[in-house]
Structure 1
Amino acid sequence: MNWKILMLALIASVGLQSCSEDDGSPNGGKANLTVRMTDAPGDYDAVLIDVQGIEIHVTSETELEGDVDGDGWIAVDDVQTGVYDLLELTGGVTQVLADTEVPEGFVSQIRLILGSNNTVVVNGVSKPLNTPSAQQSGLKLQVNEELVAGENYAFLLDFDVDNSIVTTGNGGYNLKPVIRLNAEPNAGTVVGSITPVNIQALVRIENSNITISAYTNAEGEFSLNGVPAGTYKLTVIPEANSLLNTYVIDEIEVKANSVTEVEVVTL
């Protein structure tokens, strides 16, 4: 009888210890992170960006897995490295760069690391894009987001190509990226289409704080991603040689974590 009591006590003790160990954060203190890239319009034939890595700066109360130098910078796993044409990422198209787990904690910055194979195509001629700072330490963007274990977070890197490429006096091109980072888990999306579909149009929404734009695709469709909740003005600007008028909707309400569909815009 005493042995049975002892065994029951031992089992109960192990069970309590196991429960105590399992009471930590979900996924072992990991948050789910997706990083995507998209592009605002630019007047070039192609803009090719060589993505080699992504890092985040995490402040945590516990020791960070993957923090090799002890400075809080962690390399994001499973990054889809490669050369991407930013001008293919319009009309709401996005490129997933990473979809993985990262340690929970306060993320102050994200760093996009570029390689040396960056080029711009102008009038059919390919020319190098100089990016010395990006190759050394990466392009740092402010995040300031608390990542909670078990939750899903999506970071959208929105390049503004037209303002990111600077011509030099000797006919060269420098890449000084202007990137809008949306790290709000509750951001919305605005979708719609135009007619006629045989032209391309620039679609822009804006208010006093935010401007987001994208081109329509071959089917006349557009999608504006990562839009914080709020009220916006929507403007559709057809290509100049179409001789069509600009179309304006004065107020569009975007709600958190939802899709706002605009009726077909007839130009």
Structure 2
Amino acid sequence: MKTSLSLLSLAATAALVTACGGGGGGGSGASNPPPVQLGTVAVSLTDAPACGFDAVNVTVSKVRIHQSSSASDTDSGWTDITLSPARKINLLNLTNGALEALGQASLSAGSYSQLRLVLEGTTGANTVVKTGSTTETPLDTPSALQSGIKLVNQFDVAAGQRVDLVLDFDACKSVVSKGNSGYSLKPVVKVVPTALNGINGFIATAALASHVAVTAQQNGVIVAATTPNPSSGEFALTRLPAGNYDVVITGDGMAASVVGAVPVTASAMTQLSTVAAPIAPAVSIGRNIGGNVTQTPVSATEPAFVSAMQSITNGPLVTIKYSATPVGGGAYSITGLPGAAPRYVTYSSTLPLGFVTATTTPAAGIYRVDASATGYATKSTPAVDVSVADQANVNFSLTP
């Protein structure tokens, strides 16, 4: 999430891998030009959690690559990786670091600055299936996407070498409600490291029916999210930039489990638990916070996001759960917030980790609730108390 909110039922992430290597050729002699030196590009896709949908389907038709970051889709000089036929992919099938290979192409050696991910815009090409339903609902795809989702990222291709790139397609953040008019696609895509680094572990399988989500956060902002494997409870938060992260494990009817200051390197996985000793979240009563968010002026493209957050004493600020409004504002509902305090432990390489009940600000069952939207100032209600009852009228008015 690139706003100050953090996701809990979280954003699906899809990664598109592009690789470069190959050979070149050409004649010899003074009358012939020097041989063109080539590299090769290959592409794959990955994703994260469920976020209220059982499927988020996008149909990829091609990936385009250009040396200039300012090149338009009609300029010359593009190299295309074309999928024939175009491939419909459920992003929510690609959890815990899995990749979907999309193809490869050769590139001249040199520097490149722009990629475009081109989606089909035909009827039925892009759809969602809400959790508990079997019906595919069309995902409205703006005509502007037919020229491709533009990604500016510098990478170099050496002759005869392979370069891997991963495009992270955040499925859940890319699906926005239009109220009673269905859903539209507002793509959120970024370039992330190819190496399978990050954070992994196991959640007790007895907890998995509670819609468990695992997030990696920094100062309450969710950087990555996933859901555990439904059979084994294994999870992996992959392809994270090196640094320290707070891992937050949440679900319906359970207290949040937080591991603070988890170190991540660029080339390895940091393990938080094992299959023999999985993390077992504590039971908690679940509460709801709801209300309405208005945007003045009303946005034609941007939803608002509402996050329930707590600061752990001598620990981090974390987001427990969040909700999105329809485009332009409207009703939201954050469900299943724990009435119990989080269980907390600072990371240690010695496993199993020893969680203890944390003290927080606000106190257990009380949350700081933030509302934000792109282009609007964030508003905050400092202490929404759900320790005894749900709160149904926590409203916000956002202005630039």
TM-score (ref. length: structure 1): 0.74
Does the CA-based 8 Å contact 2:80-2:105 persist in structure 1?
A: no
User: Gaps (5+ residues) in structure 1?
Assistant: 1-16, 60-68
RMSD: 3.0
Larger RCO (CA within 8 A; separation ≥ 6): 1
Q: Which residue of 1 aligns with 2:280?
A: 266
Number of the residue aligned with 1:137:
147
**The one of 243, 254, 275 aligned to 1:230:** 243
How many residues get paired? 234
- For the Cα contact (< 8 Å) 2:44–2:99, is it kept in 1? no
Match of 1:147 among 146, 154, 157: 157
Cross-structure match for 1:53: 62
Q: Provide TM-score, normalisation by structure 2.
A: 0.52
Of 158, 161, 166, which residue of structure 1 is paired with 2:168?
158
Larger radius of gyration between Structure 1 and Structure 2: 1
Q: Which of 38, 41, 46 in structure 2 is aligned with 1:37?
A: 46
Q: 1:38 to 1:97 in 2, by over 3 A?
A: farther
Contact 1:234 1:249 in 2 (8 A): yes
Secondary structure of the residue aligned to 1:163 is helix
Shift in Å, 1:187: 6.5
Deviations 1:179-208 (CA, angstroms, capped at 9, x unpaired): 2321x3557232221113551421111225
Match of 1:120 among 101, 108, 128: 128
Choose which of 110, 114, 124 in structure 2 pairs with 1:109.
114
In structure 2, distance between residues paired with 1:89 and 1:179: 15
Offset from partner CA, 1:22-71 (integer Å, 9 cap, x none): x989xx33145443332354211321111111111125xxxxxxxxx763
Secondary structure of the residue aligned to 1:204 is: strand
- CA shift in 2, pair 1:169/1:198, >3 Å: closer
In 1, Cα distance between the equivalents of 2:54 and 2:83? Answer: 30
Counterpart of 2:318?
none
Q: Secondary structure of 1:162's match?
A: helix
Shift of 1:159: 2.7
Cα distance between partner residues in 1 of 2:243 and 2:256 = 23
CA distance in structure 1 between the partners assigned to 2:108 and 2:272 by the alignment: 38
Displacement over 6 Å in runs of 4+: none
Measured against aligned partners, the alpha-carbon deviations of 1:2-26 in whole angstroms (never above 9, x if no partner) come to: xxxxxxxxxxxxxxx79xx9x989x
Q: Distance between the aligned counterparts of 1:37 and 1:196, measured in 2?
A: 24
Tell me by how many angstroms 1:178 deviates. 1.4
Q: Which residue of 2 aligns with 1:66?
A: none
Q: 1:99 to 1:42 in 2, by over 3 A?
A: farther
Q: Which of 49, 53, 73 is 2:78 aligned to?
A: 73
Which residue does 1:205 correspond to in 2?
Answer: 216
C-alpha distance in structure 1 between counterparts of 2:270 and 2:93, whole Å:
23
- Per-residue CA deviation, residues 216-255 of structure 1 (Å, 9 max, x unaligned), is 1111111222111111111111x21xx2221111011111
Deviations 1:122-180, CA, capped at 9 Å, x for gaps? 35232211113355201112222223334433322333233211222542211111123
CA distance in 2, matches of 1:165, 1:110: 21
From 190, 198, 202, the counterpart of 1:193: 202
Structure holding more helix per residue = 1
Partner of 1:217: 229
Rounded Cα–Cα distance in structure 2 between residues aligned with 1:232 and 1:214: 14
Equivalent residue for 1:11? none
Matched position secondary structure for 2:254: coil
Contact 2:63 2:115 in 1 (8 A): yes
* 1:179 correspondence with 2:189: yes
> Relative to 1, partners in 2 of residues 1:79 and 1:143: Cα closer, same or farther, differing over 3 Å?
farther
